[in-house]
Amino acid sequence: MLVAWDWLMILAYFGVLAAVVVFSLRSKKIESGQDLFLGGRSVGWLAIGASIFAANIGSEHLIGLAGQGASTGLSMAHWEFHAWVLVMMSWVFLPFYYNSGVSTMPEFLERRFGPKARWILSLVSLAAYVLTKISVTVYAGALFFEVMMPEVSITIGGTVVGSFWIGAVLTVVLAGLYSSIGGLSAVVYTDLVQTFIILAGTLSVTAFALYHLGNSGVALADGATAQGIGDGWAVLKQTIKSTGNVEQFGLWHSLSHKSLPWLGVVVASVTIGVWYWCTDQFIIQRTLAARNLTNARRGAIWGGFLKLAPVFLFLVPGMLGFALHHNHVVVNGSQFAIPLKDGALNGDAVFPTLVQSLLPVGFRGLVVAGMIAALMSSLASLFNSVSTLFTVDVYQKLRPETPQRKLVTIGRATTVSMTALGLLWLPIMKSIAGGGLYKYIQAVQSFLAPPIVAVFVLGLFWKRMNLKGAVWGLSVGFVLGMAKLAANAVWGGAEGCALMPDFYFSGILLALSICIVVAASLMAPAPDAKHLEGLNFSCLSPEYRKVNRESWNWVDVAASVVVVGCVVAAYAYFWTWLD
C-alpha cells in the first residue's frame, strides 16, 4: 500500500519528466521526419548511452528477470552479459550504418541489396515489436501496478476496471504522448533522467534485501549467525546449497536440461544479442541520432558500461527474494512470503513483493517511480522506432512525394495503431508466458533473430551475397520462426514445444538461414562491386577508412577493453560461485 510520501515521489518524477519534455521541445522544434525520428542528428554520447540502457531496461526486466532469478538463478544472465556485443557493434557494425546516412535498418538493407529486402525486414520488425516488445512491456508493467496498487479501480458502465488495466492504459497513453509530441529528442533526454531513477530505485531493493537477509539470524556454516549486511551474500549461497538448488541456480546447465541446456543457451543468447544490439532499429536508432560517428561510438560503449548492471539490479534481487522466502525472514514485523502459483513461487510476483515488504516509506515511491520510468522509457522508445519503421520504410516508399509535415503526422498516428495491436496480443501472450516473462521474450526473439543475423553478418563480410540470398534467407527464416511460435502456442505452453527446445531451435534456424542465404546467392549473379562501396568490408575506399580512423582515439579503445574485461571478470566469478 502506497502512502502520501510515496505518491509525492511519483508526482515528483512526473514533474521532472514534463520539464525535460518541455525543454527538449523548446530547444528543438519538430519540423521534419529527421527531427521526429533522429532528433536532428544532434545528440551527444552521454544521452545516447543512457537512452540505450533505459530503452533496454523495460518492466519485463524488473518483473521477468527478477522472477527468473528466484526460479532459475543465473540461467538468464547470459543475455545480460551482452556488454561485449555493444562494444562489437560500436566498432564493427556502427561505422557502416552511420556513414551510409540511413535512418533505419531496412533502409540499410536496401542500400546493400535492394528494395525487396527492405520490405521484408520492415514487416518482420513491425511484427516482432508487437509480439515481444510492446505487449511484454505493457503486460509486465500492468502486473506491477496490480500488485503495488490493488486498491486502485474505477467503474465503467457497471464494470469494475482494476489496477492492471488502468496501469497498462495510463502508461501507454503518457508514453505515447511525449514520444509522438517530442520525437526521439524528447525520448533520449528523458531516458537520461530515467536511467538514474531506474538505477537508484533498483539498487535500493538490492541493498535492503541484502540488509534483511544479512540480519536474519540464520546460522552460517561456521557456526556464527548472520548479523550484518555483509552476511547477506553468504546466507544466499548457503540457502541455495542447503535446498539442493546448486545446478538450478548456477550459470550453466547440462545438455539434457529441459529448457536451458548450456549449448542452446550460448548459441541463442549470442544470436539474439547480435540481432538486438547490432541490427535492431530499436537500439541502432539512438546511435544514428548522434552528432557524429565519434559520439555514436562512445554512446554505444557507454551503453555497454551500463549494460553490466542488470544482473546485479534484477537477477540478484530475485535470488535474494528466494532466500528471504525460504528462510521465513521476518521483515518489518511480518514474515516475508512470495505468492505461490501452481505450488511453486510465482516468479512474476517476486519484485513487487520485495518492494512492498522491504522498503520503507519514500523508498517505495522511488522504486515505483523507477518502475514507471522503465516502463515509459521502453514504450516511448518503441513507439518512436515503430513510427520510424512504418513511416520511412512503408508509407514513404509507397508515397515518396509526401511533405515532411505530413510524415510527422503519419508517424504519430502509427503509434496509436501499433499500441492497439500490442494490447490485443496480451491475452494470447499471457497463455504462453507461464514459464516467466523474461524467458518468454527471449524464446520468441530466438525464433525471429537468426535469419536477420545471417543476412546482416554475411552482407557485411561476404561481398558475393546478393538480393536473392537476402530475400530467401529473411522469408524462409521468418516463416520457420513463426511456425515454431505457433507450435508453442498450440502444443507447447510455457515450456515450449517438446519436439524442439526453444534455444536449440534458435541455433538450428541460424545454421539453416546461413545455408539458405549462401545457396540462394550462388544461384544468382554477384552484385557489382562499385555498388558495395561503404557497405561491405571488402569494398572500403581509402577515404572511407580515413574518416573511420579519425573518429576514435585511445580513450575509445581503453573504454572498450574495460567493458570487455568486466564481462570476463563477471563470468569468471559466477562460473564457480557456488562451489
Which H/E stretch holds residue 15? Answer: helix 4-27
Question: What's the burial of 399, exposed, middle or buried (CB within 10 Å: 0-12/13-18/19+)?
Answer: exposed
**Assigned C-alpha cell, 20:** 525535460
DSSP SS3 for 399: coil
DSSP SS3 for 39: helix
User: Is 574 inside any structural domain?
Assistant: no
> How many residues in total does the chain contain?
579
Which H/E stretch holds residue 154? Answer: strand 154-156
Query: What is the pTM assigned to this prediction?
Result: 0.85
For residue 550, report the phi and psi dihedrals to the nearest 5 degrees: -75, -10
- Indicate which CATH number applies to the domain containing 248: 1.20.1730.10
**Assigned C-alpha cell, 442:** 527471449
- Bridge partners (DSSP) of residue 54 are none
pLDDT in the model for residue 25: 64
- Bridge partners (DSSP) of residue 290 are 43
- Bridge partners (DSSP) of residue 219 are 225
pLDDT in the model for residue 402: 79
**Assigned C-alpha cell, 429:** 501472450
**Assigned C-alpha cell, 183:** 520525437
Find out whether 28 and 40 touch, Cβ atoms under 8 Å.
yes
Q: Which residues fall within 8 angstroms of residue 240, CB to CB, at 6 or more apart?
A: 73, 246, 249, 319, 322, 323, 578
CA separation for the pair 163, 148 (Å, rounded):
9
Q: Which residue, among 166, 137, 139, has the nearest Cα to 150 in the 3D structure? A: 166
User: Is 550 inside any structural domain?
Assistant: no
- Bridge partners (DSSP) of residue 160 are 155
The helix/strand count (H/E) of the chain reads as 28, 6
Q: Which residue, among 375, 79, 50, 321, has the nearest Cα to 189 in the 3D structure? A: 50
User: Is 391 inside any structural domain?
Assistant: yes
Measured in whole angstroms, the distance separating CA 386 from the mean position of its chain's CA atoms is: 15
User: Is 529 inside any structural domain?
Assistant: no
- Bridge partners (DSSP) of residue 156 are 159
Measured in whole angstroms, the distance separating CA 441 from the mean position of its chain's CA atoms is: 9
pLDDT in the model for residue 347: 78
- For the chain, 579 residues long, the average pLDDT of each consecutive 10-residue run is 78 80 64 54 86 79 81 86 95 93 89 91 80 70 71 76 74 70 67 80 88 82 71 87 85 80 87 92 88 94 92 89 90 85 79 85 77 73 78 82 78 74 62 57 81 95 94 93 78 52 84 96 90 88 89 95 95 87
Which H/E stretch holds residue 330? Answer: strand 330-331
DSSP for 539-575, written as a single string: S--HHHHHHHHTT--HHHHHHHHHHHHHHHHHHHHHH
DSSP SS3 for 388: helix
Residue 148 is which amino acid? M
User: Is 459 inside any structural domain?
Assistant: no
pLDDT in the model for residue 312: 87
pLDDT, tens digit (0-9, with 9 covering 90-100), for 433-449: 554 566 667 777 888 89
DSSP for 87-152, written as a single string: HHIIIIIHHHHHHHT-SSHHHHHHHHT-HHHHHHHHHHHHHHIIIIIIHHHHHHHHHHHHHH-TT-
User: Is 563 inside any structural domain?
Assistant: no
CA distances from residue 528 to 113, 127, 465, 473 in whole angstroms, order as listed:
11, 32, 11, 20
Find out whether 76 and 438 touch, Cβ atoms under 8 Å.
yes
User: Is 305 inside any structural domain?
Assistant: yes
DSSP state of 495: G
Three-point CA angle 239, 244, 245, nearest 5°: 75
Q: Which residues fall within 8 angstroms of residue 70, CB to CB, at 6 or more apart?
A: 318, 319, 321, 322, 325, 338, 345, 347, 350
**Assigned C-alpha cell, 363:** 523508498
Rg (CA), the chain: 23
**Assigned C-alpha cell, 215:** 540480519
Three-point CA angle 340, 323, 251, nearest 5°: 100
pLDDT in the model for residue 153: 76
Q: Which residue, among 334, 330, 374, has the nearest Cα to 351 in the 3D structure? A: 374
SS3 content of the chain, % helix, strand, coil (to 5): 75, 5, 20
User: Is 444 inside any structural domain?
Assistant: no
Domain count for the chain: 1
Q: Which residues fall within 8 angstroms of residue 275, CB to CB, at 6 or more apart?
A: 445, 448, 449, 450, 452, 453
Question: What's the burial of 108, exposed, middle or buried (CB within 10 Å: 0-12/13-18/19+)?
Answer: buried
pLDDT, tens digit (0-9, with 9 covering 90-100), for 233-245: 888 888 888 888 8
CA separation for the pair 160, 158 (Å, rounded):
7
DSSP state of 245: -
Q: Which residues fall within 8 angstroms of residue 389, CB to CB, at 6 or more apart?
A: 104, 106, 122, 125, 126, 281
CA separation for the pair 358, 563 (Å, rounded):
32
Domain span including residue 22? 4-427
